[in-house]
Each structure stands twice: as structure tokens, then as C-alpha cells.
Structure 1
Amino acid sequence: MTRTCRIERKTSETQIRVELDLDGQGAADINTGIAFFDHMLTLFCVHGGFDLEVLANGDLDVDYHHTVEDVALVLGEAVSTALDNRFGIRRYGFAVTPMDDALAEVAIDLSNRPFLVYHVPTALESPGRFDPGLAKEFFRAFAVKGGMNLHINVKYGANEHHVLEAVYKSVGRALKQAVLVDADRNGVRSSKGIL
């Protein structure tokens, strides 16, 4: 079974192309024009073990919001499409990841019931020109298009770079658990018989 997907999205604000292999080796080729965001997406795929290519051209002269959100929409759609009917997947995943002074906890349910809980310190300063608030927008759009219930909790952390790094690593690790296929599982992991 191949769990790959290629999706493109073009608007008047952005042009996004995403190629995803859920069963990859953690290979990343990311170019959004936003160096810090590229770094976070690379961490997501390396620690999740996904192969991911992202090419994004956006109206960065306005700000980073459109590009970050649209990449999330396309990446979430790619995850959902690659999972197809979600038969046989574990469905749930979690990870606790430290990064120096920061500790992030993430839980995911690939239930097709999109929801985001996001508890991350709001007093963080921007790492470079990247507004830490954009991470919440990214994960909201990613959860909605990915059909996932996504809980992100940062227990503590003072350095904004470390906080966001712990979050992106944790999301990758938790998603990897959730998309794993149980060989002995026939159908979906739901009492309803459908996700």
C-alpha cells in the first residue's frame, strides 16, 4: 500500500506544492521563503519519519501569514488524502518532547473530527521575523484539513525557538504513531465503523 500524495494550491496570494510520503525516511526538501518555518517543517518530517517536499511562493512582502496558513492547508489535505479511508491505522498518537528549556506534549486523534487545543506561552518573542502566533494558525489549518483532533500543550519554556522546535518535533512524532498501520487491524478503529 502506497501512502503518498501530491497536492497543489494556487490563489492570488500563494502558490503551494506539497509531496508527502507517510512511510518515508524523514527526507525533507522545504522551500517556503521563510527560513525559520522551513526549519520547523524539516523538524516535523525528520522526527515523524515522513518524506516531505514543500515549494511555496507567497506574498511575503505583505507578511508570512498567507504562506504559513496555506502550507498548513495543503499539508493537512495531503495527510488526509494519503490516509485514504484510514483503514488499519492506529488512529491515536502522542509525544512528549524536550528541547533544552522547553517541554511540549502533543496528542493526536485522526478521527475526522477536526479540533485544535493550543496551550503555548503567548509572551514569546519572535524568533527572527517569524511571529510565534503563526504557529497556532498553522496547526489550526493543519488540523482542520487533516481531519484530526490535535492537542498541543507546552508545559514550560522561555526560549521561543526551543518552544516551537519542541512543538513541531512532538507533532511529527505523534502523527507518526497515529498513521502507523496495525497488521492485525481490519477496518477502522471506531465503534461506529467509520472515521
Structure 2
Amino acid sequence: MTKSSTSGMTRRALLGAFAATAVVAAPTYSKAAGFLRGGGDIRRIRMYSGRTGERIDMVYWVDGKYIKGAVKEVNQFMRDWRSDQVKDMDLRTIDIMAAAHNMLDVSEPYMLLSGYRSPQTNAMLRRRSRGVAKNSLHMKGQAADLRLSSRSVSQMAKAAMSCRAGGVGQYYGSNFVHMDCGVIRTWRG
């Protein structure tokens, strides 16, 4: 999962992707909406899964275009690890995650707790916890539950909320933040 696909990329896009990995400046909270609307030339996502041991660190968007092979790898990485089912993730969610990560100015990858959830997995989790929504956006590939050891739930939530692009749930007891591309809303779980 650590390699990225370069098929279909122009030489300019590839060089831009490599140059982006050397840039450490992050957009401020006030520039989050611009980043999501295309204010950035390159978008990168970094995550690892404690469940599967997999890691992903790749540029998935360059010069206004999603990189098909990279997006496919993100979908595979964010699969329901319990059933090994893969769903195309809503790219708006990935964009929110990437923008929030950039604003937090960390090199640490997100720990992905939950990406896509099959209806069966969601039902099983609902039986175990009152905090799992019956019609969870996880089942549509529109949500992710994330953690950073170097940033607090509050810091992560503030960055995600500044994107003004979806739902943000703060789970202090379990130390994670839910980010989705649904209706703009916030809550504490």
C-alpha cells in the first residue's frame, strides 16, 4: 500500500508531486475553503491502519485532477477490514481529511480507525455501541474516523471544522475525530 501509481501522469505533474513532498508550509485555517475549492495544486494523504498494519502516503490529486491509480489505492486502504469489502470513497471526504491534516502542520500520518463500513459491520457495531448511527455515512464511503497522537481531538476537530465542508464529530473518550462530507454539523460523542 505504500507505493503510488504514476500511470497516466504527465512529467510536469510527477515533478510537481515530488516537489510537494519537500514543501512544509501548511495553509492556515482561514485558507481551508480555498484549498478545498482547488486552491492547492497538489493534495496528499498519509494514513496507517493499526488493524491491518498497512500504510499509505501518496499524492492523489495534481493540477485539478485526481490520479486514478492513487484513488484506487486509497479506496483499497479505507476498505472494511472486517469483511475486506472495498467501496469507492467519496473524494470530498478525502479532500477534507487532507486539508485538515495540512492545517495541523504534522508529518505524522493519520491512524485510520474506520473508513468504509459494510452494512453488516455497521449493524454489528450498532449492537455493541449506542454511538453508531443506523444510516452511517461510513456505509456510503463518505466518512472516516481518525486519530493523531501528536494532536488533540479538539485541535483535529478545529482543523476539520474550518474546512466548512461536512460533519465533524469529537469523541474525547475514544480519542478520535469523525470527518465526513455530509451536511455541515458538529457533535460530541
Does TM, scored on the shorter chain, surpass 0.5? Answer: no
The structure carrying a bigger strand percent of its residues is: 1
Could you tell me the TM-score, scaled by structure 2's length?
0.29
The structure showing larger relative contact order (alpha-carbon pairs under 8 Å, at least 6 residues apart) is 1
